[in-house]
Amino acid sequence: MTQRLQHLLEPGEPQCIASGYTFTEGPLWDPAGRFYFADVRDDKLYRIVPGGAPELVRETCNGNGTCFDLQGRIVQCEGLKRRVTCWNPASGTLEVLVEHADGKKFNRPNDVICHSNGDLLFSDPAFRVPLEDRELDAAIWRVSPDGAVSLVANIEYPNGLCLSPDETRLYVANTRWNKYIHELTLDASGAVAARRIFADMTWNAAPGSPDGIKCDVDGRVYCTGPGGIWVFGPDGVYVGTIEHPKPAVNFCFGGDDMKTLFVCAHDAIYTRRMKMPGLPHPYGATRRR
C-alpha cells in the first residue's frame, strides 16, 4: 500500500538509527533538535541527537507515552506505577503529576498529549489490570494547568491520542479486540460535544493494532495498525498504509522541518522522510514565538 502514498512519501527506504532494545515506545521530538524514545520493558528513556548514538537519560517504571508540557518538561505515562510523571531535562528533577482521580487509582496510563492551552490529556486503559485491582473504568482524562483532574470520556480500550490541527477533534486509537479510531468532537470548554467511529481497522488481518496516532498539518490522521502506519483523510477515508521492515508500534514527526517520521518498531527506531510536515508540538510553537 506504500505506493499509494507517493504524494506524501519522499523516495527512499526507512533508515534504522538505533536497535537492540526490548520494546521501543513513547517517541517525542524536541524542537531543540533531539529525539526521545522509551524502552518500555527495560524501564529506560533515551535521547538521540540525529547522527549520534542514543544516550540514556533516566530510569522509568514501564515508561510509555511522552509529551512536553508548555514549560518544556517531559510528561510520561508510567504504567506499572499507575501514574503520570513530569521530568525536567534541564535540572533532572522528577515529580509525580497525577496518580488518582476522585481518590481512585488510575489503571495503567498509556499515552499523553498537550493542548495549546496547557491541558494534558492521557489515556488510561483498564484491561491489563486484574479486575480486583481496577478502581476506574477505561477512559481519557484531562489534567489542567492548575492540577485539576477531570474525565473526558470513557473509551473501550484507549491507547494513542492526537488532536486535529484546530484542536476541535480528539482522535483515540482503540487497541485489542475491536480495532478502530474513535473521534471525539470537543467544544470550546474541552467537553465532548459529539463522538463517532472515525475509521474501522479490523478488515486487515496482518499483525499490528491501532496504537501510535498523529496528524499532519493538513489534518490527515496517521495511525499504526495491521501492516504498518495507516493514513486517513480528515474525513476518515482510507488513503493507504506506510509499510516498514518491522511492525510499527508508534511514531512521531520531527526534524527541523517536521518532515521526518521517527518510527518505533519493536526493538528498533527507523526514520523516513515525508513530503508533508506533521503538526508541531505546542511547546515547539511556543519556542518559535
Residue 283 pLDDT grade (very low, low, confident, very high; cuts 50, 70, 90): confident
pLDDT, one tens digit per residue, over 161-189 is 999 999 999 999 998 778 999 999 999 99
DSSP state string for 4-58: GGTTTBPSS--EEEEE--S-EEEEEEETTTEEEEEEGGGTEEEEE-TTS--EEEE
Q: What is the mean pLDDT of residues 12-17?
A: 94
pLDDT at residue 2, as a whole number: 64
pLDDT at residue 186, as a whole number: 97
pLDDT at residue 289, as a whole number: 43
pLDDT at residue 287, as a whole number: 53
pLDDT, one tens digit per residue, over 56-101 is 999 999 999 999 999 999 999 999 999 999 999 999 999 999 999 9
Q: What is the mean pLDDT of residues 218-223?
A: 98
Whether residue 191 is predicted with pLDDT greater than 70 in this model: the reply is yes
pLDDT at residue 176, as a whole number: 76
Whether residue 209 is predicted with pLDDT greater than 90 in this model: the reply is no
pLDDT at residue 57, as a whole number: 97
Residue 205 pLDDT grade (very low, low, confident, very high; cuts 50, 70, 90): confident
Whether residue 286 is predicted with pLDDT greater than 90 in this model: the reply is no
pLDDT, one tens digit per residue, over 237-261 is 999 999 988 999 999 999 999 999 9
Whether residue 14 is predicted with pLDDT greater than 50 in this model: the reply is yes
